[in-house]
Amino acid sequence: MKERIITALDIGTTKVAALVARENEFGKVEILGIGISQSFGVKRGVVTNIDKTVHAIRKAVEQAEAQSGIKFVEVLVGIAGQHIKSLQHRGILVRDNVDIEIDEKDIQKLIGDMHKLSLPPGDKIIHVLPQDYIVDNEQGIKEPIGMAGVRVEGNFHIITGQAGAIHNINKCVIKAGLKVKNVVLEPLASAAAVLSKEELEAGVALVDIGGGTTDIAIFEEGIIRHTSVIPFGGDIITEDIKKGCMILRDQAESLKLKFGSALALETQDNEIVAIPGLRGRNHKEISIKNLSHIIQARMEEILEHVHFELRGSDFDKKLIGGIVLTGGGSQLKHLVQLTQLVTGMEARIGIPNEHLASTKMKEVNNPIFATGIGLAIRAFHEAELDKETEWLRAMPKEEEKEEIVEATLDIDVDEVEPLNEPEKKERNTEKNKEYEGAQSGNWLKNIITKSKQWLEKDLEDDFQDTPH
């Protein structure tokens, strides 16, 4: 059995992360290599510059390949952005024979019918996610396979995106020399990395604060119930700091990461940070208190949008697990406290170590890698569901490939009777010739030639044995 190796690509507004992972014997995900590069060609989850995005992908992939020794070939790609939409739809299937059990083909037909929905021009379906089923008016059925029934209905959560945006992401990956195996919505991937089974069952809202957007996914009873995208993220906070403090963007980003706080009350009045001036100008002094006021004002706006989405989904009163914050924007100090103040719900930071094996790479225990790790986890889960699918996403190093080939060619077949040295040599020569012929595509021709030789030899023997 081939080792399952997954290569994933998270193309975000601020960074491109490439990740290599494998599944160990205990079912845990082991990270083999990570590469990260700054993204300049993506804005709010949408590719705006092909060449810059391709360069960022190549740079991240090269780092991950060097660290893991695995060559990227086929990748899972995460997608997000302002263009992502969701809708609910119900499908109906009427079966002919009640004596025949509902099987996987019936479920796949229901899902396939969802892909035929009429959508606004330019939209494309990314995911069709089953929620529950109704069999002969019996509602709330999660697993209808094996049941008997004539009328089968399914409620589906359908996620769509702009075909042009999806095509541009695929184009960037292909131009970087890779193949796209599948495109996955990033909040779904992040949820697989940071949420526990208990939270998914109890009801939880995942809030993924990225650079350009904030993605929301609501789960209840282990099923996704609602998804939405808020067109604000960590980048807009950086822009506010840049304008409010009259400094460069890179300086604003560094201030936000090192000294930023989502609660101004938690900072001291006398804390000052000095920023170098431009071309010999005097340095500029920034008050940490003022910096936190700028950050808090924008974060409150983002969290109010989140709260509005939660109330609009009608699941805000059912979320026992509260809110789980992840993504690069979740690293702000005191963000959990501000979230609880604005929404009135329990909150925590989601770190993607829920399904990870122990590793020496401590940097993976960071919310910015939640999407990449989640892509790998989803791929391994789908591999378990579909045993026939080949899930080898990458190629081993060249020397490992050569060893595998040599081991395959050196296998000897045990013989019933012992052979002396000349017979062994003759037998091995014949086997090598047959193997080379089969490898070159002339297997059938060799069989016919061999049969002809046997027939001619038998006829010659019979002719010699016949008295003349």
Please state, in angstroms and rounded to a whole number, the distance separating the CA atoms of residues 273 and 259.
9
227's enclosing H/E stretch is: strand 223-230
Give the position of tokens 């925590």: 348
Give the mean pLDDT of 447-453.
58
Please state, in angstroms and rounded to a whole number, the distance separating the CA atoms of residues 213 and 83.
11
What band does 278 get if pLDDT is binned at 50, 70 and 90?
A: confident
C-beta of residue 145 within 8 angstroms of C-beta of residue 135: no
Residues forming CATH 3.30.1490.110 domain(s) in the chain: 85-161
Lookup: tokens for 124? 């494309």
* Longest CA span, the chain: 123
What band does 25 get if pLDDT is binned at 50, 70 and 90?
A: confident
Give the position of tokens 């081991």: 407
Give the mean pLDDT of 60-74.
92
Q: What is the dihedral of CA 156, 161, 164, 170, to 10 degrees?
A: -80
Buried b (16+ CB within 10 A) or exposed e, 290-312: ebbebbbebbeebbebbbebbee
Q: Tell whether the model's pLDDT for residue 302 goes beyond 60.
A: yes
Distance of CA 90 to the CA centre of its chain: 27
Q: What is the DSSP letter of 212?
A: S
- Which residues on neighbouring strands pair with residue 223, listed in sequence order? 220
What band does 456 get if pLDDT is binned at 50, 70 and 90?
A: low
78's enclosing H/E stretch is: strand 74-79
What band does 452 get if pLDDT is binned at 50, 70 and 90?
A: low
C-beta of residue 15 within 8 angstroms of C-beta of residue 38: yes
Buried b (16+ CB within 10 A) or exposed e, 217-231: bbbbeebbbbbbbbe
Please state, in angstroms and rounded to a whole number, the distance separating the CA atoms of residues 441 and 2.
25
C-beta of residue 213 within 8 angstroms of C-beta of residue 229: yes
Give the mean pLDDT of 70-81.
91
In the predicted model, what is the mean pLDDT of the chain?
83
Considering the segment(s) 196-351 as one domain, its CATH architecture is 2-Layer Sandwich (3.30)
More confident residue, 280 or 36: 36
C-beta of residue 227 within 8 angstroms of C-beta of residue 158: no
Least confident of 143-152, 184-193, 399-408: 399-408
What band does 130 get if pLDDT is binned at 50, 70 and 90?
A: very high
Give the mean pLDDT of 427-448.
50
154's enclosing H/E stretch is: strand 151-162
Q: Tell whether the model's pLDDT for residue 65 goes beyond 90.
A: yes
Give the mean pLDDT of 144-170.
93
Q: What is the DSSP letter of 358?
A: P
Give the position of tokens 């969802």: 114
More confident residue, 343 or 436: 343
Please state, in angstroms and rounded to a whole number, the distance separating the CA atoms of residues 190 and 193.
5
CA distance readout (Å), 58 to 77, 80, 178, 370, 405: 14, 20, 9, 21, 29
- Residue 418, C-beta contacts closer than 8 angstroms, at least 6 positions apart: none
What band does 3 get if pLDDT is binned at 50, 70 and 90?
A: low
Q: Tell whether the model's pLDDT for residue 97 goes beyond 80.
A: yes
46's enclosing H/E stretch is: strand 46-47
Residue 250 sits at the vertex; the CA angle it makes with 247 and 251, to the nearest 5 degrees, is 45
Lookup: tokens for 14? 């601020």
In terms of Cα–Cα distance, which of 1, 2, 3 is closest to 22?
3
Instruction: Please tell me the class of the 85-161 domain.
Output: alpha beta
Please state, in angstroms and rounded to a whole number, the distance separating the CA atoms of residues 143 and 223.
12
Q: Tell whether the model's pLDDT for residue 24 goes beyond 90.
A: no
Residues forming CATH 3.30.420.40 domain(s) in the chain: 196-351
With a pLDDT cut of 70, the percent of the chain lying above it is 80
Distance of CA 350 to the CA centre of its chain: 17
More confident residue, 282 or 200: 200
